[in-house]
Every structure is written in structure tokens, then in C-alpha cells.
Amino acid sequence: GQNIDQPTEMTATEGAIVQINCTYQTSGFNGLFWYQQHAGEAPTFLSYNVLDGLEEKGRFSSFLSRSKGYSYLLLKELQMKDSASYLCAVKGFNKFYFGSGTKLNVKP
């Protein structure tokens, strides 16, 4: 079966760095996506990894290891507006699988 695991909730301090992990087991692999979703809003795209390694985009970075079925999203210089849920999604054989999301609470 398909399985995507991420922590349910995390708390971090403004200005700090936080790493959100995602492990997956899916039928096929054609890329891993991270989405941000503020409460009551639609998910918005953050990053896409299809090859192993680190992709950096401003304060956000995403890492992928296909052999380990593992990814993480790294958020630097946390801001209060980063409080949201972060969804890990894997594209298998023409099918998308979403994790349940990690709710990140950023405190002053």
C-alpha cells in the first residue's frame, strides 16, 4: 500500500530553523512536493524534488533521498507567518499521494 508519514505537529521559535521530515512508500516515484497550507486556505506549492539532493529557494530548502524514501523541508529564519501546515506529497505512477500534514506553530 501507499504510505506517507510526517510528524503531526511541531513548535519552533521565531528566527530559528526547523526541519520537517517525510518518509514515504509508494508505487513508483516521479517526484516529491512540499505544499504550505494556512488554516482555512488552499495548499500552495513550495518545492519539488525528483533527484537526490538539496533544492534551495530563499528561506526554504527541500532534500530528497530516493534510496531511503526520505525527504525533509528546512525552514530558516522562521517568521510568525510560517505558522501553517506543511504537506508532503509524492507522485507515483500517475497518482498523487498526500501526507496528513505537519502543523507548525511558530512562537515569539
Partner 1 sequence: EAGVVQSPRYKIIEKKQPVAFWCNPISGHNTLYWYRQNLGQGPELLIRYENEEAVDDSQLPKDRFSAERLKGVDSTLKIQPAELGDSAVYLCASSSQLDGKGDEQFFGPGTRLTVL
Site of interaction with partner 1 (CB under 8 A): 4, 30-31, 33, 41-45, 48, 50, 87, 89, 91, 94-96, 98-101
Q: How far is the CB of 50 from partner 1 (least distance, A)?
A: 6
Backbone angle region of 105, left / alpha / beta, with phi > 0 → left and psi within -120 to 50 → alpha:
beta
Q: What is the DSSP letter of 81?
A: G
- 8 versus 108: smaller Cβ distance to partner 1: 8
- 35 versus 69: smaller Cβ distance to partner 1: 35
φ, ψ at 15 (rounded to 5°): 90, -15
